[in-house]
Amino acid sequence: MSVGLARQVYFAYKAGADLANATVTRGSTGGYTTRAGLYATKASNIARLHWRDIDGDGVHEIPRLLMEGARTNAYTAPEDFTDAAWTKDGATISANVAKAPDGVAASADKIVEDSGVNVAHQIYQALPALTDDTLQAPAIFVKRAERTWVRIWTRDKANAQRNSWYNLAAGAWGTTDAGHGLYAERFADDWYRLGVRFDAASGATTPLVVYALATADGVEVYTGDGSSGVYLWGAWFVADERFHSSYHSGARSADQIDFPASIPLHKSWTIYVKGGLQHGAITAPGSTLFLLNLRDSDGASRILFSRHASLAQLSVNYQSPAEATAAVSFSPPLADPFDLLIQHDATDHALSIALNGGSLIAGSAPTGQTKPFNQGITTVRLRNDGFWELEVLKIMAGLQGWTFARNAPTAVGV
């Protein structure tokens, strides 16, 4: 591989750059995080630039292009906890008493503990039907008031009950259950979006997700004072969802972005991708279930980057009815953040990939009936049925190495 030398650039995009030449498709509004750390929404067919706080200090320093699949929030009245759909045990709700994560004044509710003796003070809602042995990922926005600890309690179909506590004053998890995957994202004005990931398991018990007050780490029941609590807003649940996608009060359509491009498929080239995603946030391979898709002038998919058959792997492959598939995959899965190289060698049209500075993993060349490679790529399409965020996408001539892509960002213009 050649390293450190600038080569011809076929395509380049960095999050935040002009999208005037791109076609953005999303049939609904979509949520994202602003640079100021507020939750906001974009209108349909408008791309979402999502700002990430990568170190939890409250500064959202990294912009990423947010790509998500279609999802519908299963919670009824996810911003109105006075609604009858929400069961309150040992607690009451004070409506519209605080500024919400979207910056709207007096639109967030407060859960207030009653004076019950040695009881739990909590709120929950009936869940939709869950598939046996699938991961679930509930989330909710929470802000401290008189209470600074909250507890997320889950119960699965096998009646396994798990508790994890979060310190809203310190911005850190306390005691957590090993069966919970943990999620916490900091927003402006001391709001946190908190969630866990748990396995629904199998059995006759009705699953449940409970959001509860606590006086300290590890406390499940206590005698309330009748006035203390925390602020709540924006509960989120999608049945059988294994990752925490952006919040939406109702139904959100899938994102798709098409960039015009001119890439000679018959030559050697390297794709560099930098971004982030959550565990399990890439769906299975398929004609529309992908992250990156290079398409020819006939609209046919030629190169597809998607999830491998294993959730722990990804693949990049040729995808065309007229030719065999050459695929390569790697493990462990991508994380947040990730750097990826995808290479095409013109000598035999083999594809290779490398993750986070690692060695290239070579795939086999196409076999059988091969569609001619002289037809170029005219469209770079971004889409995913799950959740991922793009920082940089660059397609360069030749077989580039990590020194070029990672350690000399000015040379590649990223």
Residues of the chain above pLDDT 90, percent: 60
pLDDT of residue 5 exceeding 50, the answer is no
Closest CA to 52 of 278, 293, 258: 278
The residues that bridge with 212 in the sheet, in sequence order, are: 122, 151
Place of tokens 């409506």: 95
Per-residue pLDDT at 7: 67
Confidence of residue 329 (pLDDT cuts 50, 70, 90): low
Per-residue pLDDT at 369: 45
pLDDT of residue 341 exceeding 50, the answer is yes
| Higher per-residue pLDDT: 249 or 361 | 249
Closest CA to 47 of 72, 60, 73, 29: 29
The residues that bridge with 251 in the sheet, in sequence order, are: 72
Instruction: Return the minimum-mean-pLDDT range out of 59-73, 84-98, 102-116.
Output: 59-73
Question: pLDDT tens across 176-200, in order?
Answer: 999 999 999 999 999 999 999 999 9
**What is the torsional sign of CA 76, 181, 41, 43?**
negative
116-154 burial, b at 16+ Cβ within 10 Å, e below that, comes to beebbbbbbbebeebeeeebbbbbbbbbbbebbbbbbbb
From CA 255, how far away is CA 246, in angstroms rounded? 12
Q: What DSSP assignment string belongs to 351-408?
A: EEEEETT---EEPPPP-SS---TTSPEEEEEEE-SSEEEEEEEEEEES-B-HHHHTS-
Instruction: Return the minimum-mean-pLDDT range out of 206-210, 232-236, 323-327.
Output: 323-327
Instruction: Return the minimum-mean-pLDDT range out of 137-146, 151-160, 336-345, 404-413.
Output: 404-413
Q: How many Cα atoms occupy the beta-carbon half-sphere of 172 within 13 Å? A: 6
pLDDT of residue 333 exceeding 60, the answer is no
pLDDT of residue 331 exceeding 80, the answer is no
Instruction: Return the minimum-mean-pLDDT range out of 92-106, 143-157, 251-265, 273-287.
Output: 273-287
pLDDT of residue 49 exceeding 60, the answer is yes
222 DSSP assignment: B
Per-residue pLDDT at 244: 84
The residues that bridge with 94 in the sheet, in sequence order, are: 110
Per-residue pLDDT at 286: 44
The CATH-assigned architecture of domain 87-236 is Sandwich (2.60)
Segment 286-303 shows an average pLDDT of: 70
Segment 230-255 shows an average pLDDT of: 94
Per-residue pLDDT at 300: 73
Segment 17-43 shows an average pLDDT of: 96
Domain boundaries, given as residue ranges, for the chain? 9-70+254-412, 87-236
| Higher per-residue pLDDT: 404 or 221 | 221
Confidence of residue 349 (pLDDT cuts 50, 70, 90): confident
Strands 208-214 and 149-155: antiparallel
Topology alike, domains 9-70+254-412 and 87-236: yes
Measured between alpha carbons, how far is residue 254 from residues 308, 356, 371 in Å? 21, 28, 31
What is the average pLDDT value for the chain, to the nearest integer?
85
Burial category of 40 from C-beta neighbours within 10 Å (exposed 0-12, middle 13-18, buried 19 and up):
middle
Segment 407-412 shows an average pLDDT of: 35
Segment 293-306 shows an average pLDDT of: 76
**Reported CATH class of domain 9-70+254-412:** mainly beta
Question: pLDDT tens across 366-383, in order?
Answer: 655 455 566 788 999 998
From CA 292, how far away is CA 297, in angstroms rounded? 17
Segment 241-252 shows an average pLDDT of: 91
Instruction: Return the minimum-mean-pLDDT range out of 25-34, 84-93, 376-385.
Output: 376-385
Q: What angle do CA 228, 229, 232 make, to 5 degrees?
A: 160
**What is the torsional sign of CA 311, 316, 319, 323?**
negative
105-109, long-range: CB < 8 A, 24+ apart: 107/79, 107/233, 108/79, 108/141, 108/143, 108/231, 108/232, 108/233, 109/79, 109/80, 109/81, 109/82, 109/231, 109/232, 109/233
